[in-house]
C-alpha cells in the first residue's frame, strides 16, 4: 500500500450546531470550533470533519443546501472558516467539510428555476418525470418514508427525492450539472479545505427503467434500493469526480457508501486508485442491545458483531482502508446501543470505545464520545425536532403500535440522541451556550462533562487519550496502520480478540465484552501491557483472567 498523509488519521466529527455557541444565540458556530482547538489537540486528533455548514433552510439540519458557495449565517461566514483552517493548521489539524451532492434544497436557485420551467435548462439539473395513471412515476419509497416523488403543483410532473421532499435529487446524468459541482468542490479545496466526507454518494446513479414493484408495506410503496444504490455505472461518475477534483489536491475523501457493497467492487471504491480514500464500515450500525432481536442476549450480539467486523476486514485484506467509527450524527450513542442499561459504567464505556479502535483503517470519534455522552430519552414526541423522527413515529402508529410503544421505539433508535449540545462543563446549559440552546441539553451534564474528566487520570476521557496516544506512538503507529490482522479466540463467546502484526512486531488485543470474568489461554509470550482499562492485570504464565468488560492491548512475541 502506498503511504498517504491521511493514513494516520485520528478524526473527530463535529456537529457544529451543537458543539459550541460563542455569540449567545443558542446555536453552535465556527468560532466555537476554533475556541476548542486546544482541547481537540489535547485529545490527540489530527482531522476534523464538519457536518454541513453551507447555507440551508435546515429542513434536514443542513443536508438540504440552498447555496453551495456560502456559509450559513447561523455558523458565521467564510472568514470564520478560513480562520478555523489556519488556526487548526497550527495545531496539526486538517479540516474536512461535508459534501452533499446527491441532492439540494428546494430553496436552491437551481430548483426554483426548475419549478418555473421543468423542461428547461434547470429542469434537467433534477430528475423530473411524468406521473402515471394519476399517481407517481413509480412506487419507490423514500429512505425517510412515504413516496420518493413529489408532485409539482398544477402539473402531472413529479420530482424525485430519495430523502425528504425538501431535498430534490440532482440529475448526475447531466454533464452540465456535473461541471457546476466540480467547480464548487474545487473552490472549497482552493480555500484550504483538505477533503470531504461525501454524503449519500451511493445514490448518484439511478436505474431509469422505473418499473413498479410489488408493495412491501401497507403504504403501497416499496424499498427500491436496488434501483438507486450503487447502481451499475455509478463508477463512471465517481471516477470523474475524483479526477476532476480530489486527485488534483491530494484530498482526503470519506464516502458514505451503503452497507452491502459487493466485495468484487469494494476495491474500486477504496483500493490503490479507488474513488475515495476510505468509506465507512456500517456493519455495526444494525446492532441494538435493546432491540427485540438482541434484548437479553449480549454475548450472542457481540459474537454476531465480531463476525461482521472480521468478515469486512477479510474482504479488504490490506488492499484499502475502512473508516472505523462507532458514533456519528445519524446514530444513537454507542454505549446504549451495545450495553444493557444496568451494566453501563466506566468499564463498559471504555471497552465499547475500543471495539474497532485498533483494527486496520483510520479512526473517527464523534463529539462527546470520549466523555461518554448518553442518549437523552424524551417523554413526549413533541420534544423531538427532526422531520424524519415524526415520519417514523407516524409509520409506527400506522403499523399498529400504541403511542407509548412508538415513542419507546423512537427513543431506542432516533439519531437525535447524537445531536444534543456538547457537555463541556457543569454550568447552566453545560457550558455550550449562555442562552437557551436550540435543542435541549441532556440533564446528566452535571455528572458527564469535559471539564470534570480532562484532568482526571482515571476518567473515560483519559482512557480515550491513552488509546489515541498508543495508536499514534512512534513505536506502534505503522503496525496499527499497515499491519496484518489475525483473528483470535473466534470460538470464545463474548470475546473479541485479534493480533496485529508487522515485521518483527506483534500486538495482541483482547476484549471481554461480557459483564462477567472469563479465562483465556495465551498461545504466545507476553512482553508487556500497553493498555488496559483496569489497573489490575490477572496474568499468570499462559493463563489470562479477564475482568468484566476488560480491554487489554498486549505487546506479544510474534512467534
State the pairing for strand pair 94-99/195-198. parallel
129 beta partners: 158
Q: 497 and 487 in contact (C-beta within 8 Å)?
A: yes
Q: 53 and 81 in contact (C-beta within 8 Å)?
A: yes
Active-site residue 199, yes or no?
yes
**SS3 letters across 323-372:** EEECCCCCCCCHHHHHCCHHHCCHHHHHHHHCCCCCCCCEEEEECCHHHC
Separation in Å, CA 318 to CA 2, 262, 500: 11, 17, 12
C-alpha cell at position 533 = 482499562
Within 8 A by CB and 6+ apart from 112, the residues are 106
Candidates 29, 64, 199, 281; catalytic one: 199
Give the burial string for 149-182 (b: 16+ CB within 10 Å, else e). bbebeeeebbbbbbbbbbbbbbbbeeeebbebbb
E-strand ranges in 175-301 read 195-198, 252-255, 278-280
Candidates 21, 29, 136, 256; catalytic one: 256
Phi and psi for 130 in degrees, rounded to 5?
A: -70, 145
Our separate counts of H helices and E strands in the chain read: 17, 21
Residue of 381, 391, 347, 367 whose CA lies nearest to 513: 347
Please report, in angstroms and rounded to a whole number, the separation of the first and last CA atoms in the chain: 25
422/457 Cα distance (integer angstroms):
21
C-alpha cell at position 317 = 485484506
308/189 Cα distance (integer angstroms):
36
E-strand ranges in 72-174 read 94-99, 128-130, 149-151, 157-160
State the pairing for strand pair 252-255/195-198. parallel
State the pairing for strand pair 322-325/278-280. parallel
529/469 Cα distance (integer angstroms):
14
Find how far residue 400's CA is from the centre of its chain.
31
Phi and psi for 307 in degrees, rounded to 5?
A: -60, -40
Helix, strand and coil percent figures for the chain, each rounded to 5:
35, 20, 45
- What value, to the nearest 5°, has the Cα angle with vertex 268 and ends 266 and 269? 70
C-alpha cell at position 433 = 451556550
C-alpha cell at position 118 = 421543468
Residue of 64, 75, 70, 137 whose CA lies nearest to 105: 64
Active-site residue 240, yes or no?
no
Catalytic residues: 199, 256
Amino acid at each position: 500500500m502506498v503511504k498517504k498523509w491521511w493514513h494516520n488519521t485520528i478524526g473527530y466529527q463535529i456537529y457544529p450546531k451543537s458543539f459550541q455557541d460563542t455569540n449567545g444565540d443558542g446555536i453552535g458556530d465556527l468560532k466555537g470550533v476554533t475556541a476548542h482547538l486546544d482541547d481537540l489537540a489535547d485529545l490527540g486528533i489530527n482531522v476534523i470533519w464538519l457536518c454541513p455548514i453551507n447555507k440551508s433552510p435546515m429542513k434536514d439540519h443542513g443536508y438540504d443546501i440552498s447555496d453551495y458557495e456560502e456559509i450559513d449565517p447561523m455558523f458565521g461566514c467564510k472568514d470564520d472558516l478560513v480562520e478555523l483552517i489556519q488556526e487548526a493548521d497550527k495545531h496539526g489539524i486538517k479540516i474536512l467539510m461535508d459534501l452533499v451532492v446527491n441532492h439540494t434544497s428546494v430553496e436552491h436557485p437551481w430548483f426554483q428555476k426548475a419549478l418555473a420551467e421543468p423542461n428547461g435548462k434547470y429542469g434537467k439539473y433534477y430528475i423530473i418525470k411524468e406521473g402515471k395513471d394519476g399517481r407517481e412515476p413509480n412506487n419507490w419509497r423514500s429512505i425517510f418514508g412515504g413516496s420518493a416523488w413529489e408532485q409539482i403543483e398544477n402539473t402531472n410532473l413529479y420530482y424525485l427525492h430519495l430523502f425528504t421532499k425538501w431535498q430534490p435529487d440532482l440529475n448526475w446524468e447531466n454533464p452540465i450539472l456535473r461541471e457546476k459541482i466540480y467547480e464548487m468542490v474545487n473552490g472549497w479545496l482552493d480555500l484550504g479545505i483538505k477533503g470531504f466526507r461525501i454524503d449519500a454518494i451511493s445514490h448518484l446513479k439511478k436505474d431509469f427503467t422505473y418499473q413498479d414493484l410489488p408493495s412491501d408495506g401497507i403504504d403501497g410503496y416499496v424499498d427500491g434500493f436496488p434501483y438507486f444504490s450503487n447502481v451499475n455505472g455509478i463508477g463512471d461518475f465517481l471516477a470523474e469526480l475524483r479526477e476532476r477534483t480530489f486527485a488534483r489536491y491530494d484530498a482526503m475523501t470519506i464516502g458514505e457508501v451503503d452497507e452491502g457493497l459487493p466485495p468484487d467492487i469494494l476495491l474500486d471504491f477504496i483500493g490503490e486508485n479507488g474513488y475515495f480514500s476510505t468509506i465507512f464500515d456500517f456493519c455495526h450500525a444494525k446492532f441494538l442491545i435493546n432491540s427485540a432481536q438482541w434484548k437479553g442476549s449480549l454475548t450472542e450480539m457481540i459474537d454476531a458483531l465480531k463476525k461482521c467486523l472480521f468478515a469486512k476486514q477479510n474482504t479488504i485484506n490490506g488492499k484499502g482502508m475502512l473508516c472505523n467509527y462507532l458514533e456519528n450524527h445519524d446514530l444513537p450513542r454507542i454505549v446504549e446501543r451495545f450495553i444493557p442499561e444496568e451494566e453501563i459504567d466506566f468499564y463498559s464505556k471504555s471497552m465499547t470505545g475500543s471495539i474497532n479502535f485498533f483494527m486496520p483503517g483510520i479512526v473517527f470519534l464523534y463529539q462527546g464520545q470520549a466523555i461518554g455522552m448518553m442518549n437523552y430519552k424524551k417523554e413526549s414526541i413533541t420534544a423531538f425536532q427532526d422531520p424524519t423522527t415524526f415520519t417514523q413515529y407516524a409509520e409506527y402508529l400506522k403499523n399498529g403500535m400504541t403511542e407509548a410503544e412508538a415513542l419507546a421505539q423512537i427513543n431506542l433508535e432516533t439519531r437525535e440522541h447524537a445531536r444534543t449540545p456538547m457537555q463541556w462543563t457543569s454550568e447552566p446549559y453545560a457550558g455550550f451556550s449562555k442562552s437557551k440552546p436550540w435543542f435541549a441539553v441532556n440533564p446528566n451534564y452535571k455528572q458527564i462533562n469535559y471539564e470534570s474528566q480532562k484532568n482526571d487520570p482515571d476518567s473515560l476521557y483519559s482512557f480515550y487519550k491513552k488509546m489515541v496516544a498508543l495508536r499514534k506512538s512512534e513505536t506502534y503507529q505503522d503496525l496499527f496502520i499497515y499491519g496484518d490482522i489475525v483473528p483470535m479466540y473466534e470460538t470464545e463467546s463474548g470475546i473479541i480478540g485479534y493480533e496485529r502484526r508487522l515485521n518483527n512486531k506483534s500486538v495482541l488485543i483482547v476484549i471481554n465484552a461480557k459483564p462477567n470474568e472469563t479465562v483465556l489461554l495465551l498461545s504466545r509470550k507476553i512482553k508487556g501491557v500497553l493498555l488496559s482499562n483496569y489497573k489490575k492485570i490477572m496474568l499468570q504464565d499462559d493463563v489470562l483472567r479477564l475482568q468484566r468488560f476488560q480491554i487489554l492491548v498486549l505487546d506479544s512475541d510474534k512467534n
